[in-house]
């Protein structure tokens, strides 16, 4: 099933996408697409609903983040060898972990407003793994049973904040709007092999990233097991699993986001995103 949330920011309602690609409302079945409904039993009951029996929603509705109450957004850095190479870094011997605050999460087509003083905004199309069954010290062989589904993530960065000065990834990855998720939360049963998905990202119609999730250095079962050594994973957590080559920083010369740019992302089976880049407006709000 493909779950979505639609409506104005802060007032999103639950929905799903039917076989013809139409948006339908799930409001009569649950209040929102939230972590409590990712439990395997509840999720199974939701998947048994026939979308054809649900009311159709107008296509003009905004799509919000595909999950209402993300617990934590855990990211894996340099998890594609070609991306590590373009960044001038050695492919890691074990996963590099960092986190984005939940305040960075945005809808898949929301405008991105660059932070004040930003000069090196960058893009990263990533496969997000949505946890449905929590745990700690999860065995790798059992890890996929903890997955509720998948979504697309744009791990947006400000490279100046990330790599210059004190060089903290937290500062470079955390601005409001730097974590669009969705448009869909696709349940695990609809993705036959999450390591065989095409991934691409265009900037102003120019193909910047064109890869496949099969190029991950560390695969999903290992990542879930590894991360659970250091923190408990809970329903509603998302793991962003890294990005293939083609980020702005890796171009020769580097190419960074500027007001007026448009990013368009797609991962096979997970839908499309589109973000228009705006300048800081001085109002104190993010994207």
CA terminus-to-terminus distance, the chain = 29
Q: How far is CA 78 from the centre of its chain?
A: 16
Please write the tens of the pLDDT for every residue from 14-73: 999 999 999 999 999 999 999 999 999 999 999 999 999 999 998 789 999 999 999 999
Please, what's the largest Cα pairwise distance for the chain? 56
Please write the tens of the pLDDT for every residue from 42-59: 999 999 999 999 999 987
Predicted confidence band of residue 282 (pLDDT cuts 50, 70, 90): low
Topology of domain 68-278 in CATH is Fumarylacetoacetate hydrolase; domain 2 (3.90.850)
154 vs 108: CA distance, rounded Å:
9
| 8 Å CB contact between 149 and 112 | no
pLDDT value of residue 89: 79
pLDDT > 50? residue 286: no
pLDDT value of residue 162: 92
Please write the tens of the pLDDT for every residue from 165-187: 887 899 999 999 999 999 999 99
The residue ranges of every structural domain in the chain are: 68-278
């Amino acid at each position: 099933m493909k779950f979505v949330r639609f409506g104005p920011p802060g007032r999103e309602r639950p929905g799903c996408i039917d076989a013809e690609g139409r948006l339908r409302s799930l409001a009569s079945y649950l209040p929102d697409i939230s972590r409590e409904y990712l439990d395997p039993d509840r999720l199974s009951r939701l998947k048994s609903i026939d979308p054809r029996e649900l009311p159709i929603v107008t296509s003009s509705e905004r799509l919000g983040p595909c999950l209402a109450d993300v617990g934590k957004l855990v990211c894996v850095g340099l998890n594609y060898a070609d991306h590590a190479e373009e960044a001038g870094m050695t492919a890691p011997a074990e996963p590099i972990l960092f986190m984005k605050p939940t305040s960075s999460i945005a809808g898949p087509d929301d405008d991105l407003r660059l932070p004040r003083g930003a000069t090196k905004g960058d893009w990263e199309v990533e496969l997000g793994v949505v946890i449905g069954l929590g745990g700690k010290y999860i065995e790798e062989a059992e890890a996929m049973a903890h997955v509720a589904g998948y979504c697309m993530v744009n791990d947006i960065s400000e490279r100046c904040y990330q790599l210059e000065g004190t060089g903290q990834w937290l500062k470079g990855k955390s601005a409001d709007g730097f974590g669009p998720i969705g448009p869909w939360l696709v349940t695990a049963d609809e993705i036959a092999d999450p390591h065989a998905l095409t991934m691409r990202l265009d900037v102003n119609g120019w193909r910047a990233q064109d890869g496949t999730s099969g190029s991950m250095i560390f695969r999903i079962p290992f990542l879930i097991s590894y991360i659970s050594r250091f923190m408990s994973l809970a329903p509603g957590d998302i793991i962003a699993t890294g990005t293939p080559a083609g980020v702005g920083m890796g171009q020769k010369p580097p190419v960074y986001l500027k007001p007026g740019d448009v990013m368009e992302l797609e991962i096979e089976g997970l839908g499309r995103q589109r973000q228009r880049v705006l300048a800081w407006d001085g109002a104190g709000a993010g994207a």
